[in-house]
Amino acid sequence: ETGVTQTPRHLVMGMTNKKSLKCEQHLGHNAMYWYKQSAKKPLELMFVYSLEERVENNSVPSRFSPECPNSSHLFLHLHTLQPEDSALYLCASSQDNGATPRFQYFGPGTRLTVL
Amino acid sequence: TQLLEQSPQFLSIQEGENLTVYCNSSSVFSSLQWYRQEPGEGPVLLVTVVTGGEVKKLKRLTFQFGDARKDSSLHITAAQTGDTGLYLCAGAGQAGTALIFGKGTTLSVSS
């Protein structure tokens, strides 16, 4: 148990659907992240929230929309996805004090398949 | 752009063998982390190395950070089937910047 939970664990959706991924961290951290993990590629950082404010957005298409209502919860809203968006979506959290490297703790991921 | 190259990409060995996997870059990192990821799960942090030349041991796993802080290695002694998984290295640049991940080494240990 890493203290970071993600739901659902598996999701199959059509290209016209709208769905949301949820992440919750129980570690008291102040920063949360969304990553995309595709086969044969490094983990791709999508979004970073620190103190509930988005601090990084790595050129992610607008069909992915993050939301961070508080420091413990993070959502990724999905709409009009493409088959190439099928991947494992990982959430992570860390305690970011700006002076030390960000040691990140990951959730188990949501395996997304877009048909 | 900072890149981390991991080698080998795949490694299949018998239980009891020793192995080393590598993480290399042309960039300097302030620290480097190693994670293990099992199928269907997220990466789990194994160790963080911070000082050039640092060696850390975690039971049968030995991690080393290069003197120039551009590379790292993970050595496993007497591998067990439970060591099977994807090993990822991740480098941290300046304080507050995002981690850079390598593509990983997939290790399979058979009995």
Sign of torsion over alpha carbons B56, B61, B67, B69 = negative
Query: CA dihedral defined by B86, B87, B92, B93, rounded to 10 degrees?
Result: -90
Backbone angles phi, psi at B82, to 5 degrees: -70, -10
Q: For chain A, how many residues are written? A: 115
Query: Could you give the maximum distance between any two Cα atoms of chain A, in Å?
Result: 43
Using CA coordinates, name the residue in chain B closest to A10.
B40
pLDDT of residue B96: 57
- What is the enclosing helix (H) or strand (E) of A21? strand A18-25
Instruction: Please say if the pLDDT value at position B99 is more than 70.
Output: yes
**Are the Cβ atoms of B98 and A101 closer than 8 angstroms?**
no
The count of other CB atoms within 10 Å of the CB of residue B80 is 12
Question: pLDDT for A5-25, tens place per residue?
Answer: 999 999 999 988 899 999 999
pLDDT tens track for B64-91? 999 999 999 999 999 999 999 999 999 9
> What does the DSSP assignment read for A54-108?
EEEE-S--TTEEEEEEETTEEEEEEES--GGG-EEEEEEEE---SSS----EE--
Count CA atoms within 13 Å of residue A33 on its CB side.
25
Tell me the average pLDDT across A36-42.
87
- Alpha-carbon span A55 to B18, nearest angstrom: 42
Give me the residue from B45, B88, B96 closest to A103, CB to CB: B45
By CA distance, what is B33's nearest residue in A?
A103
Amino acid at position A103, single letter: F
pLDDT score of A2: 60
Least confident of A38-47, B7-16, B22-31: A38-47
B39 touches chain A (CB under 8 A): no
Mean pLDDT of A61-72: 94
Residues B41-52 have pLDDT tens digits of 899 999 999 899
pLDDT at A1 over 60: no
The residue of B87, B97, B99 whose CB has the most chain A CBs within 10 angstroms, and thus the best one to mutate to test that interface, is B99
